[in-house]
A = this chain, B = another copy of it.
Amino acid sequence: MNGAEPLDIAVIGLGLIGGSALRALAAAGHRVLGYDADPTTRATARTAAARAPQGARWQVTGTVADAVSPADVVLLAVPLPAVEAIFGELATSGYSGLVTDVTSVKQPVRELAAKTLHAAGQSLAGFVGGHPMAGRERSGFGASEAELFDGCAWVLCLEEGTGLDDWLRLAALFTAIGARVVPTTADEHDRAVAAVSHVPHLLAASLAGHAANDPLALTLGAGSFRDGTRVAASRPGLVAAMCGGNAEAARHTLDAVIADLQAARAALDGPDPIAALEPWLTPGYTARSRWPVTPGTPEPMRADPSALRALGRAGGWVTTVDAARRTVVAVRPA
């Protein structure tokens, strides 16, 4: 229990992320209620609960209202298009506790939360946007596991209006199930994921689409084509929703990448393309050779919002939280 009291937690949406959170939070000793809109998923999650070790079991409810009524914390683990309706159900159910989510864009969810809560006469104060970077090839409750978050980066947004104690309470929950909690803002998160996920999907699609017109190229394609286009095999509807749902940040990164490729084009056009390309290639080489980030030495830190945001901006994260003393253990890249 990491020294903290057991909480009542509602997990809404029992796919890969929700199902894994249900398992991990129950195993950490919390009282967890789960709900999913799909009756088959609810039945599967109930059967799985009965097989879980004593003391690590969860319950599955038939409605959102039943799951959230006793809750201290609600974890929304539904896809982006379903988020607005669930915010509406939370508002009409009279729930007024802490809410967090796991969707892959944060500014649009923050706007939805503000709109729905405002309509219900409530404020954004109790909403803390989140995003565990824990994708897998497989999805659904069947792929969920309590260990999914071990060592994974879990973004928790710490905006100007976010209550520090709310943020620390959630950070304590998620570090206790193994996550590296990354403090940042919706805006900075959305730019970062545009750079490392959304725009890479666009480049992969473009490369694969270009080769599609050249059967010889598809036959000659080897490792660099395989890896550079791997995510182009993701369903276009999902990728469009992900990139289009983060349009502003994706445009920003795409503009930078297009400008950069135009510089490479100019280098290829010059009198000595080889000499001109080498310095153009070097920053990416340096960055990629040092990736993934090597963790530095863990250090205790007072939990101050701007210091935490600076930690996230520097590529750092939180591994342990003492919510009562408002201190954390922070790790920065070595």
Contact = CB atoms under 8 A, between A and B. Distances in A.
Contacts of A220: 133, 153, 155, 182, 189, 192-193, 196-197
Interface stretch (A15-23, A39-47, A159-167, A314-322): A314-322
Given A195-B217, A251-B265, A288 B229 contact: yes
B247 A273 contact: yes
A120 interface: no
B196 A239 contact: no
Give the interface residue-count category, chain A.
Answer: 35 or more
A216 B229 contact: no
Given A188-B216, A200-B225, A207 B257 contact: yes
Interface in A250-291: 250-251, 253-258, 260-262, 264-265, 267-269, 272-289, 291
A208 B228 CA distance: 12
Contact of A291 (B199, B221, B241, B285): B221
Interface centre among A220, A226, A253 (most CB of B within 10 A): A220
Interface stretch (A6-14, A170-178, A230-238): A230-238
B233 A217 contact: no
Given A155-B220, A210-B257, A236-B281, 14 more contacts: A182-B216, A191-B214, A199-B210, A201-B224, A202-B261, A203-B203, A203-B207, A203-B261, A209-B284, A227-B230, A227-B231, A233-B289, A236-B279, A247-B268
